[in-house]
Each structure stands twice: as C-alpha cells, then as structure tokens.
Amino acid sequence: MCAVWASPVMYSWTAVADRLGPVGFTLYRLNPITAAVELAHAGFWLPLDPHSAAALPDLMTFGMLGLVIALLTLLLGQFVFRRLEGRFAQEL
C-alpha cells in the first residue's frame, strides 16, 4: 500500500512536482520505484503521443540513479545478512 502512494501509480508526477518544490521533487524522483513506474508509463504512453516526451523530467537519469540505489541497497542487505546469518536462527 505504501509503495502505491510513494510512487506515481495512481496519480501524475506533475501533481507531486507542484506540491513539493524542486528539492522535494528531486528526492521524490530518487525513489527507485518512482523511476520504474514512470519508465513503464513512458513505454506505454509515449508511442501514442510522441510530443509528450518533452514533459518527462530527466526520466533516464533518474531511472539509472534509481537502479544504482536499488543495487546498492541489495548489496548492503547481502553484506549485513552474510555478517549476521550465523546467529540468525537464535535472533528469531
């Protein structure tokens, strides 16, 4: 439920841009789920309206940043799990 409201699945990213301001909107676009959802929207809607490509705010840049953030989070999680897996059963 949180992922639906934290990324533009049910609403347009322009609604967020108007309310958060430039700094908040940049932080919002760093969410990897937001970048993935917007790339999916662009893949679906862009062939129908090629002129709307100018309205996409640095989608590929934030898509790549989102991918890097997701991979770093995965690597950090793997590192922490490998470090603590010896006592994992006792902690549960």
Whole-angstrom distance, CA of residue 19 vs CA of residue 56: 17
Span 28-47, average pLDDT: 79
Q: Taking the alpha carbons of 75, 79, 84, 86 in that order, is the dihedral positive or negative?
A: positive
Q: What percent of the chain has pLDDT over 70?
A: 80
Domains in the chain, number: 1
Q: pTM here?
A: 0.63
pLDDT digits (tens, 9 = 90+) for 39-83: 887 777 776 766 666 556 677 888 888 889 889 999 999 999 898
| Residue that wins the pLDDT comparison between 2 and 28 | 28
pLDDT at 55: 59
- Give the pLDDT confidence score for residue 26 in this predicted structure: 83
Which carries the bigger pLDDT value, residue 91 or residue 23? Answer: 23
CA atoms within 13 A on the CB side of 83: 6
Position 85: which residue type? E
Domain, as residue range, for 68? 2-91
DSSP secondary structure code for residue 46 in this structure: T
Average pLDDT, the chain: 79
